[in-house]
């Protein structure tokens, strides 16, 4: 897997990353709090005593230091499916990718129609925050490297 999602991580503002991290909290735990606790030598339960902003900042450092595309992909994908599913399904529908509520069965054999990418992105920009669209495009560029239009449009938007 490429590292577009890791590059996108470095382009997110602290506030954007915090928003993603907070949205994925469950029962007071952030999505990477186990790794955060381990890095600080905390017991897992004790991590909840730290403010979520501090935990998110540490989680982001862990992701950046590991340069873990898999963890970034999992975090961003969870956020998009949970909070921006219509963005994901809108793109997939507009580019002819069969899916089940945003989940694509076989990424290797099904890919977006290259000639429909630009129009799909333009439509999404009219409905969603550009930062969320750009985040999704980073994931798409990693998922479908055989569609160079995805990387090109992501690089242009991300200023890469």
pLDDT of the chain along its 160 residues, tens only? 458 999 999 999 999 999 999 999 999 899 999 999 999 999 988 999 999 999 999 999 999 988 888 899 999 999 999 999 999 999 999 999 999 999 998 888 899 999 999 999 999 999 999 999 999 999 999 999 999 999 999 999 988 6
Rounded Cα gap, residues 84 and 134, in angstroms: 13
Question: What are the helix (H) ranges across the chain?
Answer: 4-11, 14-23, 33-39, 52-66, 69-83, 85-94, 117-125, 130-143, 148-158
Report yes or no: 69 and 142 within 8 Å, Cβ to Cβ.
yes
């Amino acid at each position: 897997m490429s590292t577009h999602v890791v590059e996108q991580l470095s382009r997110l503002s602290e506030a954007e990353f915090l928003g993603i991290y907070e949205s994925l909290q469950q029962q007071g735990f952030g999505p990477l709090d186990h790794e955060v606790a381990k890095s600080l030598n905390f017991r897992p339960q004790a991590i909840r005593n730290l403010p979520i902003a501090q935990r998110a900042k540490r989680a982001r450092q862990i992701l950046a230091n590991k340069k873990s595309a898999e963890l970034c992909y999992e975090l961003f994908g969870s956020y998009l499916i949970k909070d921006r599913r219509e963005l994901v399904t809108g793109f997939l529908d507009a580019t002819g990718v069969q899916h089940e509520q945003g989940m694509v069965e076989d990424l290797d054999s099904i890919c977006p129609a290259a000639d429909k990418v630009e129009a799909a992105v333009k439509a999404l920009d009219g409905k969603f925050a550009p930062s969320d669209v750009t985040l999704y495009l980073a994931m798409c560029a990693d998922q479908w490297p055989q569609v160079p239009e995805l990387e090109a449009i992501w690089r242009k938007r991300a200023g890469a």
